[in-house]
Amino acid sequence: MKKLFGTDGIRGVAGKSPLDAQTIYAVGLALAHHLGAGPKVLIGQDTRESSDWIAATLTAGLTEGGARVESAGVITTPAVAFLTRAHGFSAGIVISASHNPWQDNGIKLFGPDGFKLPDATEMAIEAEIFRRLEQVAGREAHVPSTEPVVNEADRTEYVKFLLEAVPGLSLDGRCIVVDCANGAASAIAPQLFAELNANGGGEVILKNSSPDGRNINEHCGALHPEVVAKEVVAHKASMGITFDGDADRALFADATGKVVNGDAVLLLAARDLAERGLLANATVVATTMSNMGLEAALKRSNIRMLRAPVGDKYVLEQMLATGAALGGEQSGHIIFSGRSTTGDGLLTALLLLDIVHRSGKTLAELTADLKTFPQVIVNVHVREKRPLDEIPSVAEAIAAAESELADSGRVVIRYSGTEALARVMIEAESETLMRLHAEAIASAIRAELGA
């Protein structure tokens, strides 16, 4: 059982364990040791005010461990994955807590192939971190006072990669609204969309692209897709695009102001790939959180849907195991096999724009036949993460929901891998029963584990 790594790296409140200076320094030492002699490591970060000192502390540990460290500065998570692979780095590191509030931060690790590390590797690094912590206990971690030299060419190279993925893409005179969440996309999206629209003919309206260290994800971005949806209506735009803090996922809004989530993107991308003979094994990998409506719509197009645990690394693992060309999450992490090694919000945005461009249809028209089951997600703050099936009152509430909903719904209860939350998700044909059982289960969890 991992103690530091969650579903997406090490995450917590910046300055507190496990993101205190000593632990971060130990992470650097441990990773350098794990990578062997003379490793070269790339570090990128999001816009949180804590990202600078965390990157500096991590760099100090890596350097003492014998690693050579290069900085890409503020850049998206998938950009680090791409650059790590493209330039033969021994590892890539992203300082980010993705969709979490500004007080949090995290450390995400990529291998030399650009893929997130498997669980077994993370466990081995964890063991080394704890050994290193014993060595540095009581010793003040050295944080360099000088800022690292940032390679500005990294962003330009990544933008070039993105544009080459969609040759001939045009906005067709459309107006689009882009919400950067005051996060890492703020460093990439302005250049990307300016070059995309270099020949004119369209309009790009950038929103929430002025980070101040504390406004990342604040009432904006993929956590609040209704914001970009309202902006689309207000500007009479054709489409809205919204990213999370590190831009590894994207959500959308159509011209009517309707939010288009990751399930809808999977449907459009799967149909497009299938029509062009590029959907390997006619299979798509989604997660336990994807709506039953997506499964039904894919089935009508003779496409099989498999479900993986939540987390884009687990989606990718099942894609690799089954040979699937496409996978993703309802939350907007979409992975295109052969194009990316992790969820990439900017790449997803361009590929979706390309589908719209080639189809000659609007986003609303392309998603019109996706009929979703009513779904509710209740987040319960918890003080600890005990196995839910070992708590009688919770187990009874779950069993009652599963029994009554039977084949007309789904019950998915899980702990968040990145926050102190239990997530209660229920889908059902009956919205009344859905809400009744969701609240019953949530109440049982609050009574036993509530923070």
Domains (range + CATH), the chain: 5-152 (3.40.120.10), 173-258 (3.40.120.10), 262-345+352-366 (3.40.120.10), 375-449 (3.30.310.50)
Q: Report yes or no: 325 and 139 within 8 Å, Cβ to Cβ.
A: no
User: Amino acid identity of 366?
Assistant: L
Least Cα distance to 378 among 436, 307, 309 occurs for 436
pLDDT of residue 355: 97
Parts of the chain with a pLDDT under 50: none
Task: Say whether 401 sits in a helix, a strand or coil.
Answer: helix
Task: Give me the amino acid identity at 256.
Answer: T
* CB crowding 24-36: b at 16 or more within 10 Å, else e: bbbbbbbbbbbbe
What's the half-sphere exposure (Cβ side, CA atoms, 13 Å) at 317?
14
Judged by DSSP in three states, 146 sits in coil
pLDDT in tens, 76-130: 999 999 999 999 999 999 999 999 999 999 999 999 999 999 999 999 999 999 9
- Which of the following is catalytic: 98, 186, 238, 331? 98
* 3-class state of residue 327 by DSSP: strand
Strands (E) in 180-221, as ranges, are 203-207
Can you read off the two tokens belonging to residue 18? Answer: 């496990």
Is 98 annotated as catalytic? yes
Instruction: Give the pLDDT score at 418.
Output: 80
pTM: 0.89
pLDDT 10s digits, 41-52: 999 999 999 999
Residue 383 to residue 433: CA distance in whole angstroms: 28
Contact assessment for residue 409 and residue 428, using Cβ atoms and an 8 Å cutoff? yes
For helices 21-35 and 51-64, the axis angle rounded to 10 degrees is 40
Pairing of strands 239-243, 250-254: antiparallel
First-to-final CA distance of the chain: 23
The pair of structure tokens assigned to 361 is 């249809």
What local confidence, expressed as pLDDT, does residue 419 receive?
A: 85
Say if residues 379 and 412 touch (Cβ distance below 8 Å): no
| H/E element, 349 | helix 345-359
CA distance 161 to 344: 12
